Structure 1
Amino acid sequence: MINIREGVKNDLPRVLELIKELAVYEKAGDQVDNTVEQMEKDGFGANPIFGLYVAESNGDIVGIAIYYYRYSTWKGKRMYLEDIVVTQEHRGKGIGKLLFEQVINKGKAENCSGMVWQVLDWNEPAINFYKKYYQAYLDAEWINCSIDLSKH
């Protein structure tokens, strides 16, 4: 039995563990600088900038979905799915599907024009997962760009 619910502050230590698990899977385990305190401020402070769903099995958090809103000059308000993480031992049981659809439903309820996300080009299981939904379009044309503002 899987229960999907909105995340709360007390979930954040486990959420950060899952984020670190994902980073290791993505070969970037040393790149997670976030903290529970920062996530508490950013997700549950006066001006939350992300939302969170958790998947529970027998009272344990076994999956998460983190999202936020972005604005497209072409499409308007969009849902951005930052991460879906399901613990390795719970993959293949439909938990990712439940989390993914929960975020889609949140986007629809908030009148978003669509949902966007990223997937690493070598992550075949995730690519195949996303291809199953709503005729998802996977665009290899755009190049991701970022600047680490803490170093400037």
Structure 2
Amino acid sequence: MTDNKNITVRMADVDDITDIYELIAELAEYEHAADEVINTPDQLLKDWQNGYFKAWVAQLNGQTIGMALCYDRYSTWKGRCLYLEDIVVKQSHRRSGAGSALMQALVKYATENRYYSINWQVLTWNEPALNFYKKWKAEIDKEWWNGRLIVHQNQQEK
């Protein structure tokens, strides 16, 4: 558990799934992509139970104000890496230290579990996020292009 200005961070449990989903929806709204979210709280719960991702929640006075969602990836050159899909802090709590507390918990977890790196993507227009990662001395790679092949339109039909 991490404590930063009365903010606590811990690994998520089953009772956090609804809060995590609400933070996902808030992020999608912030990125002007709310209509692109096809995930559901039920699917999120199933995927969490199947170990497809790990999550941490940041709380203040027992209320969830942020989350980080990660999963394992593998680099053919470097070995085990942790992929940070999203780190989200409620708009009303940004600049509270919650993002830093979440990142600190991820770094601690990755270090203790011998991951080579933590990797993520960040939108070029998201200056607050870019500045946040720069404070962590993160490398922002502008050389690689993202690729994606959509193989199933609706993952809930699995």
In structure 2, what is the equivalent of residue 86 of structure 1? 89
What are structure 1's unaligned runs of at least 5 residues?
Answer: none
In structure 2, what is the equivalent of residue 116 of structure 1? 119
Please, what TM-score do these two structures have when normalized by structure 2? 0.90
What are structure 2's unaligned runs of at least 5 residues?
Answer: 1-5
In 2, Cα distance between equivalents of 1:19 and 1:6 = 17
The secondary structure found in structure 2 opposite 1:149 is coil
Match of 1:60 among 54, 60, 63: 63
**CA offsets, 1:84-119, max 9 Å, x none?**
000001000111000011111111111101111110
In 1, Cα distance between equivalents of 2:34 and 2:41 = 17
In structure 2, what is the equivalent of residue 150 of structure 1? 152
The secondary structure found in structure 2 opposite 1:150 is coil
In 2, Cα distance between equivalents of 1:9 and 1:147 = 31
In 2, Cα distance between equivalents of 1:19 and 1:145 = 22
The secondary structure found in structure 1 opposite 2:22 is helix
Please, what TM-score do these two structures have when normalized by structure 1? 0.94
Q: CA deviation at 1:150?
A: 1.4
Q: 1:9 corresponds to which letter in structure 2?
A: V
In 2, Cα distance between equivalents of 1:12 and 1:89 = 20
In 2, Cα distance between equivalents of 1:148 and 1:101 = 33
Higher RCO by CA contacts (8 Å cutoff, separation 6 or greater)? 2
**CA offsets, 1:3-59, max 9 Å, x none?**
1111111111111011010011111111111111111111123xx011010011111
Once the two structures are aligned, what percentage of the paired residues are identical? 44
Q: Which deviates more, 56-65 or 141-150? A: 141-150
Q: 2:109 corresponds to which letter in structure 1?
A: K
Could you list the runs of 4 or more consecutive aligned residues of structure 1 that deviate by over 6 angstroms after TM superposition?
Answer: none
Aligned residues: 149
In structure 2, what is the equivalent of residue 27 of structure 1? 32
